[in-house]
Structure 1
Amino acid sequence: MIIGTAGHIDHGKTTLVRALTGVETDRLPEEKRRGISIELGYAYLQDGDISLGFVDVPGHERLLHTMLAGATGVRHALLIVAADDGVMPQTREHLAVLALLGVGSASLVITKIDRLDAAQRNQRLAQLQTDIRALLAGTALAAAPLFTVSAASGEGIAALRAHLLALARAQAVAEPPPPGTGFRLAVDRAFTLAGVGTVVTGSAASGQVNMGDELTLTPGPGGQARSVRVRGIHAHNQPAHSAQAGQRCALALAGLAKEEVRRGDWLCSPGIALASTRIDVQCQLWPQEAHALRSGSLVHVHLGTSDVMGSIVLLDCDSLAPGASALGQLVLHSPIATWHGERGVLRDASAQRTLAGLRVLDPFAPQRWRKTPERLAQLAALQQPVRAQRVAALLAHSPLGLDLQHTARAEGLTDPAALPLPPDSLRLPASPLVLAAPCLAELQTQALARLQAFHAAYPEEIGPHAPRLQRLTAPRATPALWQHVVEQLLARQLLARTGHWLHLPEHAARLSAADQALAARIRPLLLQGAFEPPWVRTLAAELATPEAQIRQTLASLARRGETFQVVKDLHYPTATLERLAELARTCQSGDSGLQAAAFRDATGLGRKRAIQILEFFDRVGFTRRVRDAHLLRPGNTLFAESGHQG
């Protein structure tokens, strides 16, 4: 069990750890000279098969960032109050930190009882106990056991030591980690040993590491992750072949210099390595905070052993009242590694006050659509405490599918197959996406509705090609998902395809004998016209046929995908439009890009006709208009095959 100290400066935290373990945790010359802790100190107590690891933290208010780094991985806290001082400011702030980090197991210790006057001792201790219980009222530590000790005389030390060992024994039998759980360790110290090389220490948060394992250091030097190999392990200060969650570890690493690792980095299994500057969180403002927390506030973010600057954007409200909880997105100034469920703390921009606690919901937070009802429903799903319930709820609120690789990585699982998916979920072939059956049905319904609307708006056209229908229906869907939607509709005969174009089955054009005969006469005239095919009136005059009949036949050809109406009464054969699209690609790669003047010169057309064709390209989704330019969409294909971007 890993135990952390907490309390005001000079209340005897280091002396108490020394009395319990026999180890002096103040190791720096300045610490010994000044008699206070400046850096994190570590000590261990072994009793049979039980090992206690102590993390001794500084009590000075200016060193709270160091205390927060030491609180990572702590499973039990010793909240220490000196008998001669009583409750002090850092007692309160350290208590706030423990509460906001979700540390729900603690022992209360009144130290230095040897300094009390014998005549007033009982009265003073009774008053202190009343003050401490009042301080803890309403917190998860309200019922924590209380001990009175003197490290100088040894009074009460044996009882406290026996209590901690018994507590560790009671917690020793734990459920094995779920299959696929990756190893994670938050680095709080790095140093070099002669003959060993670079050594890092920290508390293992999950999984297991073995001698010779390959790990990833993230975010790593300059934000670049590094691969390292474990060539030595100490677990709770003892040589070991492996280490696991809940242990203090020292890992000797090959392939890494001491200068390349810093406090705040993580060592983890390669399959779960990540780093992010946008993190969605659940945030709770400390009830005793005097002011509301406003969206956009600049804050210090303490997650793991890291301390980075960033801003908090509230997603479901504009400000957060003391004691209230809200959803938020952290926008960080530098990347950090974190996973779902990690607890952290926010402090104000000047690092003077502890403001709020947070719990990580999604380390892959989106920059866009972060406040939509769909996204807020996903964040509500991510608050579910049980993984199976969490994944099921998240899947139900992911209409465009759930990326199993991202989800598993965020959960700290090296194997996506370890995610507990609902039995009716649909895995997309050759894709990391999984989809809930109702979400697929809704996508198909929307696609058919958009296609019906398209036919109503453009009755003379056969229909859109697959990428265009996707932009009308689900522009954020992945190509693999959209291809699956289209293929399923085609298989059920709710959708039909003619050439590259999709349409409702009843919209297919069937030429009568008269239309076939007239179409055979129209086609060569349209092709002969090249980039300036004849208008309907010209065709009617040349073929001695009424304009209405020419329009009817051209509309049938358009529904078959043989021609497209660029402007009213002006139809271009598909082959001619493909040649014009190739010239548009050539213009795009030129110095001035695809603008009306450049396209006019490339085609030899007049400016008006060139603009009409470019507007047609915009309309069918081959290009998009950005001010005076027309930009080719990804894929650069005018009439794309189903499932590919066009």
Structure 2
Amino acid sequence: MRVIATAGHVDHGKSTLIRLLTGMEPDRWAEERRRGLTIDLGFAWTTLPGGPIAFVDVPGHERFTTNMLAGVGPVPAAMLVVAADEGWMPQSAEHLAALDGLGVRHGLLVVTRADLADPGPALAEARGHLAATSLHGVRAVAVSGRTGEGLDGLRAALDEVARALPEPDPAADVRLWVDRSFTVRGAGTVVTGTLGAGTVSVGDELELGGRRVPVRGLQSLGEPVERVGGVARVAVNLRGVERDQVGRGDALLTPGAWPAVRELDVRLSAPEVPARLVLHVGSAAVPAHVRPLGAGTARLVLARPLPLRAGDRGLLRDPGLHRIAAGVLVLDVRPPALDRRGAARLRGLDLTGDVAASHLRHRGLVTVRELRALGFDDAGVPVGEWRADPDHWAGLVRRAPEVVAAWRAEQPLAAGVPAEVLARRLDVPAELVAAVVDQAGLRLVDGRVPTAAALPAPVERAVAAVEADLARSPFAAPDANRLAGLGLGPRELAAAVRVGRLVRVADGVVLAPDAPRRAAAVLADLPAPFTAGQAKAALGTTRRVALPLLELLDSLGLTRRLPDDTRVVR
């Protein structure tokens, strides 16, 4: 399906054209039909050779401009209608300014009432106005609603416009701007809108105002459907939502996919705008404070949050002067604070370049998912599911060895720097520590970055004393008093074992690193099999040392324990 907004000053002529094209009445209210004046949004559809096409008929009178903007905001193409007997009107200019500000490039110029006046002058005048806008060069058609002349050409031109529209992404995150809400007896609350991309299915859960709501039913082009993809006009029956809880300007969203934005940086299509305006995006209209940043950019502060991304387009309108002040291109929906002197000017310069790169510079690290949610393309240094600013990443890699060295100085007996400590001191997510360590030429072993194999001087002297004792009696492990006298507690002994100076036999029992091999050589001279007591005597040690030493020899495969608790040397 393709959706086209029908804009222009001649309300009666627009509605007549839609009726002739679709056989449907777009004016929903009796007052509209009585006055021949479109007041609110109207909807109709038909099928062309290229497929179905839906129309959103927007009001032309200046009193209903807010309604008009709610209709054209989410729509990718427009049919701009000018009357041959009236020519270009002030509201034609406002509608064109809105379409141009939104960057609408696909469309059709239709000169109606061709039976009442020569369409040539109106066509030439309108082309002149379109020449400097996003709709320059669009095809033009002259028609008469009364006689039907030119309608076949109009259908062909509409079909051509519809075929030229870019294909939407069916897997895109859903953002359905609500343009109408009402209650259906027995069904509950129903909302309608133009689905620009993505897919909605019955049974889905969508986000509305920060809470999840189930999709109870769907309609498109007046028919129930189980699934609908953009671009399409769609009616959504919501479960558990009261009529007064949703209205025009709200949006149904893929849960967790859209940031709620109160501050955003934008590019403006006008060099200067007033400080207080109304931002129109999708079907929403929200008061906004405008702070210029320079170079055609500004910071907007909204009266309420909206689901926005970089790349979105909107309009700033001055309701007092009844004019479009500027078109808006959203550049960054998570902008940095402007809390230093000159920050606004520097931010304006930032926004003239690669905004995604600028965003990464300010944030350092951002997940791929968040980049997508903010509307940015892939950027920066890829690190798994994260993206890093190149300078920030280089700084992390450079600082990692410094953090390790500082930890070593603070904790000389520690087994190494725990990954969580490194993450905290580098201020990176824990899942990125391994990548930083690898890039820095370090190693991550059992959740730690090993530190240098050296002992503090006091520990070094104490271990040397133990080594001297063991050189005289290899299997006479120093007792608790000797260790305490040397200042060797559990942490000091663990450090000595870690650097290879001692081997742990049991808690508080340490020997020289070659003790297992030497013990096996002594035991090999005993008659096999031998008992623990025989081993103790042969080794010249105590039961405190002999029993755990034999278990160590078993675990190392140097001896084998038999069912009767005797052993043999392998």
TM-score, length-scaled by structure 2:
0.69
- Aligned-pair CA distance for 1:361: 2.8
Deviations 1:267-294 (A, max 9, x none): 1222414322122322221xxxxx7236
User: Against the structure 1 CA distance between its residues 374 and 9, is the aligned structure 2 distance closer, same or farther, given a 3 Å change threshold?
Assistant: closer
- Aligned-pair CA distance for 1:98: 0.5
**Alignment partner of 1:402 is 2:355:** no
User: Against the structure 1 CA distance between its residues 276 and 99, is the aligned structure 2 distance closer, same or farther, given a 3 Å change threshold?
Assistant: same
TM-score, length-scaled by structure 1:
0.61
**Alignment partner of 1:441 is 2:394:** yes
Match of 1:187 among 178, 183, 191: 178
Q: Equivalent residue for 1:540?
A: none
**Alignment partner of 1:301 is 2:279:** yes
Q: Equivalent residue for 2:33?
A: 32
Maintained 8 Å contact 1:182/1:271 = no
**Alignment partner of 1:93 is 2:94:** yes
What pairs with 1:60-79 in structure 2 (closer than 5 Å)? 60-79=61-80
- Aligned-pair CA distance for 1:10: 4.3
What are the ranges of 5 or more consecutive residues in structure 2 without an aligned counterpart? Answer: 464-570
Separation in 1, partners of 2:392, 2:80: 50
Separation in 1, partners of 2:395, 2:348: 17
- Aligned-pair CA distance for 1:214: 1.4
Deviations 1:7-38 (A, max 9, x none): 12546222221222222111113223322111
Maintained 8 Å contact 2:6/2:57 = yes
State which structure, 1 or 2, has the greater radius of gyration over its C-alpha atoms: 2
Q: Equivalent residue for 2:486?
A: none
Maintained 8 Å contact 2:313/2:328 = yes
User: Against the structure 1 CA distance between its residues 508 and 334, is the aligned structure 2 distance closer, same or farther, given a 3 Å change threshold?
Assistant: farther
The letter for the 2-side match of 1:143 is G
**Alignment partner of 1:45 is 2:46:** yes
Maintained 8 Å contact 2:397/2:440 = no
Maintained 8 Å contact 2:50/2:162 = no
Maintained 8 Å contact 1:11/1:82 = no
Match of 1:259 among 244, 247, 266: 244
Deviations 1:487-542 (A, max 9, x none): 5698639x9xxxx9x9x9899974699999xxxxxxxxxxxxxxxxxxxxxxxxxx
Separation in 2, partners of 1:145, 1:482: 54
What pairs with 1:541-620 in structure 2 (closer than 5 Å)? none
Same amino acid, percent of matched pairs: 35
Maintained 8 Å contact 1:200/1:250 = yes
Maintained 8 Å contact 2:45/2:53 = yes
Q: Equivalent residue for 1:361?
A: 331
Q: Equivalent residue for 1:426?
A: 383
Give the number of equivalent residue pairs. Answer: 455
- Aligned-pair CA distance for 1:140: 2.7
Q: Equivalent residue for 1:152?
A: 146
User: Against the structure 1 CA distance between its residues 374 and 131, is the aligned structure 2 distance closer, same or farther, given a 3 Å change threshold?
Assistant: closer
What are the ranges of 5 or more consecutive residues in structure 1 without an aligned counterpart? Answer: 286-290, 383-389, 413-418, 517-646
User: Against the structure 1 CA distance between its residues 239 and 398, is the aligned structure 2 distance closer, same or farther, given a 3 Å change threshold?
Assistant: same
Separation in 2, partners of 1:354, 1:71: 14
Separation in 2, partners of 1:460, 1:140: 64
Separation in 2, partners of 1:486, 1:163: 58
Q: Equivalent residue for 1:640?
A: none
Match of 1:164 among 123, 134, 158: 158
**Alignment partner of 1:177 is 2:169:** yes
Q: Equivalent residue for 1:107?
A: 108
Separation in 2, partners of 1:251, 1:281: 32
The letter for the 1-side match of 2:397 is Q
User: Against the structure 1 CA distance between its residues 450 and 61, is the aligned structure 2 distance closer, same or farther, given a 3 Å change threshold?
Assistant: farther
User: Against the structure 1 CA distance between its residues 448 and 207, is the aligned structure 2 distance closer, same or farther, given a 3 Å change threshold?
Assistant: same
Match of 1:208 among 199, 211, 222: 199
**Alignment partner of 1:16 is 2:1:** no
User: Against the structure 1 CA distance between its residues 357 and 257, is the aligned structure 2 distance closer, same or farther, given a 3 Å change threshold?
Assistant: same
Q: Equivalent residue for 2:469?
A: none
Q: Secondary structure at the match of 2:115?
A: helix
Q: Over the residues paired in the alignment, what is the CA RMSD in angstroms?
A: 4.2
The letter for the 1-side match of 2:332 is D
The letter for the 2-side match of 1:30 is E
Maintained 8 Å contact 1:233/1:239 = yes
Maintained 8 Å contact 1:398/1:439 = no
**Alignment partner of 1:279 is 2:272:** no
Deviations 1:372-430 (A, max 9, x none): 96996588434xxxxxxx6xx57874672112332232349xxxxxx8678x6213xxx
Separation in 1, partners of 2:396, 2:21: 63
User: Against the structure 1 CA distance between its residues 375 and 505, is the aligned structure 2 distance closer, same or farther, given a 3 Å change threshold?
Assistant: farther
User: Against the structure 1 CA distance between its residues 376 and 256, is the aligned structure 2 distance closer, same or farther, given a 3 Å change threshold?
Assistant: farther
User: Against the structure 1 CA distance between its residues 506 and 193, is the aligned structure 2 distance closer, same or farther, given a 3 Å change threshold?
Assistant: same
Q: Equivalent residue for 2:493?
A: none
Maintained 8 Å contact 2:75/2:196 = no
Maintained 8 Å contact 1:340/1:363 = yes
Separation in 2, partners of 1:15, 1:440: 62
Deviations 1:343-379 (A, max 9, x none): 1000126362211111223333344577596996588
